[in-house]
Amino acid sequence: MKKILAFGASTSSTSINKQLAGYAASQLAGVAYEVIDLNDFEVPVYSEDLEKREAYPAGAEAFNKELDKYDGFIVSLAEHNGSYTAAFKNLFDWASRKDRMVFRNKPTLVLATSPGARGGATVLAAGTATFPHLGAKIVGSYSLPSFYDNFKDGELVELSKKDDLQKLVSELESAILSEVE
C-alpha cells in the first residue's frame, strides 16, 4: 500500500500545523499515512565549517531515511516572522546536503495555518516557490486562517474550508496512486 508522510514544520509541542497536517492525512481514503514530529530529528545549527569538521548529524540521517519510505508528503508550514521556523529550515538545510531532492520527486501537498487572518500565507508562498527546487511535485496548497476559530475538536468547522481541503487531499491521493514505481 502507498504511504504518505505528514508533518507540521514546527517543533512546538502544541503545533497547530502538525494538527492540520494530521487532519489532512486522516482524510486519505486509499493511502496509508504516518505523522511525524520534527523534535525526533535533532540537528545542530547548520554551517559549512561544522559540516567539514564533523560527521553528518544523526538526526538529519534519520530524517532522510524516513523520507525515503514514503510515496508523497503533506507538509504544513508554521510561520515565524513571515518565514519558515528556524528548526524546520535548519533540518531541511542538513537534509539537502545528503540529498538535494529532499522531497524525492514525490507528490506534495503544502499547507499552512496560523491564529491570524492570513493563515500563514507568506510562508505558504515561500514553500510553494521553493519546494519544487527540492524535489516536490506540488499538487496543491491550502491556507487555513484563524486556526482557533476554524478548527475545533480535531475538525474543520466550516464546510467550504473542509471541502476545499478534501479536494486537495483527493488530488494528492490520485497523484500518488498514479505514480509509476
Q: What is the DSSP secondary structure assignment for residue 45, as one 8-state letter?
A: P
Q: What is the mean pLDDT of the chain?
A: 96
State mean pLDDT over 100-127.
97
DSSP structural state of residue 96: H
What percent of the chain lies above the pLDDT cut of 90? 98
Query: Residue range 40-58: average pLDDT?
Result: 95
Q: Which domains does the chain have, with CATH numbers?
A: 3-178 (3.40.50.360)
pLDDT at 179: 82
- When pLDDT is cut at 50, 70 and 90, the band that residue 181 belongs to is low
Residue 56 has pLDDT above 90, yes or no: yes
C-alpha cell at 157: 468547522
Among residues 42, 38, 43, the alpha carbon closest in space to that of 12 is found at 38
* CA neighbor of 86 nearest in space, from 54, 133, 43: 43
In contact, 17 and 9? CB cutoff 8 Å: yes
Q: What is the mean pLDDT of residues 51-61?
A: 95
Confidence of residue 118 (pLDDT cuts 50, 70, 90): very high
Provide the pLDDT for residue 4.
98
Q: Is the pLDDT of residue 180 over 90?
A: no
Q: What is the largest CA-CA distance in the chain?
A: 53
